Structure formats: structure tokens, C-alpha cells
Amino acid sequence: MNRGEIYRTADATPERGDKPGFYVVVSRQFVADNEDIPTVVCAPIYGRILGVTTEVAVGVEDGLPRDCAIRTDFLCLMFKGRLSRFVSRLGAARTAQLDRALADALDLHFAGP
């Protein structure tokens, strides 16, 4: 499991209206790699694009069935075992967009080193 990878849950999740959903792993790589840590922080992917700075538009070119958006305002903790269906990995440009959206969502703006 790696940061920036998109997974689909195999089972229904209550936060998705009891349906499976797509999620992108946003935890740092140490957490994603560590077998002793059973969870990762994820951002859900929704079919509706709102156009706000805290989301990243993704679509077929990213391995998804249609245009949708990663919503970084709704981060969630997921058990790694629930993320059972690998979909794709975000490219460098999308990962940079994700990093900016996460900074906006968490209000993390630094003016120096």
C-alpha cells in the first residue's frame, strides 16, 4: 500500500450510504508501509465535483469509471484490509494537486522553511 494509491472498498460503508466507495491513501508512506499499523488516513472520492480548492478532480485517466473528485475535507481512518481492490496510483501532477488540497483543507500554509 502506498500514499497516492486509489482503492475501492469491497464492502459497504455507512459513510457512503451503505455502498462501496473509492478512496485515496493520504497517510505518509511510513504508516502505509508499516504492517504493525492496521489503518491509514484516506480521502474519499465522490461522483459530484463541487469545484472547491479542497478537492481534486480525477477521472478515467486516473483509473476511475467517470469524472469525480477527491474530497480532502472529509478525511477518514480506514482499516487497510477494507481497501481490498487496488484501482490505480495518482501521477506526480495529481499528487501535487492532492498535497495543495490537503494543505487548504487543514489550513496548513507556511511562509518559510
CATH of 5-104, one of 2.30.30.110, 2.60.40.420, 3.30.10.20, 2.120.10.30: 2.30.30.110
Q: What's the pLDDT tens digit per position in 29-53?
A: 999 999 999 999 999 999 999 999 9
Q: What's the pLDDT tens digit per position in 62-87?
A: 999 999 999 999 999 999 999 989 99
Across 4-112, the runs of DSSP E, i.e. the strands, are 5-8, 22-25, 39-46, 55-58, 68-71, 76-79, 85-89
Please count the other Cβ atoms lying within 10 Å of the Cβ belonging to residue 96: 12
Domain boundaries, the chain: 5-104
